[in-house]
Amino acid sequence: MITVLPRLFLGGAADVSEPRTLSESGITHVLTVDAEEPRLADSFKTKFVFALDESCTDLLSFLDECIQFISDALSLETNNVLVHCHAGVSRSAAVIIAFMMKTCKLTLKDAHVRLENIKTDIRVNDEFLHQLELFESMDCNIDISNPIYKQYRLQKVTQKYPELQNLPREYFAVDPTATTETQFNEVIYKCRKCRRSLFRNSSILNHISGSEPAAFVHKRMNPINIQTVGKEQNRCTSYFIEPVQWMEPALLGVMDGQLLCPKCSSKLGSFNWYGEQCSCGRWITPAFQIHKTRVDELKKIALPSMKLGNS
């Protein structure tokens, strides 16, 4: 167990095997990021995040709540926090780096170097480093509506549900026909043939334009450059979107196929959980592709109510 910041410690499973040692060290809160939750006395405030030190593990989705647990504990000067995994070199180190990035306003590179200078044996695995890159690109805030996070979660689907059966509904955007609620300046995309509403502009997962052959091999998602994405999307002949509820029957249990309008069955595009190439050259994984020539935009503008004065 080693001090990385005032009252914040990094350690391994051996450090929680003796609760008396924890108490003597002044530890009051324990955050476990491991495959097994330690048995600790009720006198300790604890949080357990199940996480394997493997590439399939989604640590990114839990970073905000881990950081909140640490921050809440450190808000009282009498508290001391231990963050640990099994060896104290990868999972727990990744959480500490994320905490330093968010609370100390550090870049990923600077936070990683600072922790490595304190604990020279840290070895954060490549997948967790990639997740920390995404965390940084989202300004160290997990926003479920962020296209970067949506794409990331979809990439994890085939690892978590390899048979693609019984996918949780949370992975599907709400069907526009299922609600009459309209946001200000919301854009609805309709089937050009039958006018059936298909998806909202909030479901579009924008991406940076590719560069011909290099795009074929680059299947890992890049953080989005908001300043350039609008111009580069003009090169794209399709919309790449998150899956919508009406797609569910076509997606479950198969890796690829056509996307047909749920009303008139006209072909809208295709899907492939392994990914497809956009016309701009970028490889998108997974890909739910709707051809722009098969849909029309309908922009709904909410007009403010007008009161008529007395004449």
**What SS3 string covers the chain?**
CEEEECCEEEECHHHHCCHHHHHHCCCCEEEEEECCCCCCCCCCEEEEEECCCCCCCCCHHHHHHHHHHHHHHHCCCCCCEEEECCCCCCHHHHHHHHHHHHHCCCCHHHHHHHHHHHCCCCCCCHHHHHHHHHHHHCCCCCCCCCHHHHHHHHHHHHHHCCCCCCCCHHHCECCHHHCCCCCCCEEEEEECCCCCEEEEHHHECCCCCCCCHHHHHCCCCCCCCHHHHHHHHHHCCEEEECCEHHHHHHHCCCCEEEEECCCCCCEEEEEECCCEECCCCCEECCEEEEEHHHEEEEEECCCCCCCCCCC
- The tens digit of pLDDT for each residue in 72-117 reads 999 999 999 999 999 999 999 999 999 999 999 999 999 999 999 9
At 224-281, the pLDDT tens digits run: 444 444 444 457 999 999 999 999 999 888 899 999 999 999 999 999 998 999 999 9
The CATH class given to the 2-142 domain equals alpha beta
Q: Which CATH class is domain 167-300?
A: mainly beta
Per-residue pLDDT of 137-174, as tens digits, reads: 999 999 888 888 999 988 888 777 777 767 788 888 99
Cite the active site residues. Answer: 85
Could you tell me the residue ranges of all domains in the chain? 2-142, 167-300
